[in-house]
Copies of this chain bind each other. A is one copy, B any other.
Amino acid sequence: MPIFYVTCWYSSKNMSDQSPDASGPDGSGYLPGLALDAVIFGFHENQLRILLLEYRNTGLFALPGGFIRENEDLNAAARRMLAERTGLSDIYLEQFYVFGDQARHDPAPMRSIMIANGLAPTEYHWLLRRFVSVGYYALVDFTKAVPRPDALSDSCDWYDLDRLPQLMQDHQTIVQKALETLRINLDRKLVEWASSLLPDTFTMAELQSLYETILNEKLHRSGFQRKMLSLGVLERIDKKYTGGAHKAPYVYRFVAV
């Protein structure tokens, strides 16, 4: 019972128009039907934001996403996509959920985007087909990122979590689920996250404001300080003279594990 399975990519234009990695604008070279969407959390001075793309002439906003090359690990694809969008490479990145309902398949917005970009996609264009998408969340200091739009979008920028524009498809759901994951994992993953979210050294007040911003609630200063110190992962470095008319706080660093 010899059976053959072949995935074919047809392009009416030039099959040879491909980037060096052998993945091209016709979708060839990518794993078919599988995508990534990333909720990139940016933190800086009490502010928690996420990175969104705005598509040209459409008023449509979306999470940065991407595809997986045939000769690429899934997580590596997420890391590559992230670097393309932010210019950052050593940041925390983790899967949190796979969005695989049929209901999320809605070719209309993507068709609008393509048309707004001067393309005339056929009904069966690969970008208009059903995708199962792996959700990733990433953590960065947003002052370190250099957001770059992708080929179809004219802006890539940070948006306050509580003032998000209307998002495409199920991207609002994806953001919500990412935020839940962030909150659930905060205590357990703090040390892993620290280098992505905080400068090398930081004051206790900065660490507390990170907690408060992520959890969206006020914490008691004294108890917080005691709890953090009791974790045994903080090393006190120096005093920090901020210029304020008050005692100078210490700066801390997470000790290597």
Residue numbers of A with Cβ under 8 A of B are 1-13, 25-27, 31-34, 68, 70-75, 95, 97-103, 119-122, 124-126, 129-130, 132, 134, 184, 188
| Complex interface: chain B residues within 8 A of A5 (CB) | 9-10, 26-27, 32, 124-126, 129
A107 to B120 Cα, complex, angstroms: 39
- Residue in contact with A2 in the complex, picked from B74, B122, B188, CB distance below 8 Å: B122
Q: Is the interface of A mostly helix, strand, loop or mixed?
A: mixed
In order of increasing CB-CB distance, the 5 nearest A-B pairs are: A74-B100, A5-B126, A4-B10, A73-B101, A3-B26
25 sample A-B contacts, Cβ–Cβ < 8 Å, listed by A number: A1-B25, A2-B12, A3-B121, A4-B11, A4-B26, A5-B10, A5-B32, A6-B8, A6-B10, A7-B8, A7-B32, A31-B130, A34-B34, A34-B132, A71-B102, A72-B102, A73-B100, A73-B101, A73-B102, A74-B98, A74-B101, A74-B132, A98-B134, A100-B134, A184-B188
User: Taking CB as reference atom, which chain B residue is nearest A118?
Assistant: B1
A75 to B99 Cα, complex, angstroms: 9
A98 to B6 Cα, complex, angstroms: 24
- Residue in contact with A68 in the complex, picked from B6, B74, B132, CB distance below 8 Å: B132
| Complex interface: chain B residues within 8 A of A3 (CB) | 10-13, 25-27, 121-122, 125-126
Least Cβ–Cβ distance between A226 and chain B, in angstroms: 23
| Complex interface: chain B residues within 8 A of A8 (CB) | 6-8
Report if A125-B4 is in contact (Cβ < 8 Å); known contacts: A98-B98, A100-B74, A134-B98: yes
| Complex interface: chain B residues within 8 A of A1 (CB) | 13, 25, 119-120
Least Cβ–Cβ distance between A71 and chain B, in angstroms: 7
Q: Taking each of A4, A11, A12, A68, which has the highest tally of chain B beta carbons within 10 Å of its own beta carbon?
A: A4
| Complex interface: chain B residues within 8 A of A134 (CB) | 98, 100
User: Taking CB as reference atom, which chain B residue is nearest A74?
Assistant: B100
A60 to B101 Cα, complex, angstroms: 33
| Complex interface: chain B residues within 8 A of A188 (CB) | 184
Tell me whether A4 and B124 are in contact (CB under 8 A). yes
Report if A122-B4 is in contact (Cβ < 8 Å); known contacts: A33-B34, A34-B33, A95-B97: yes
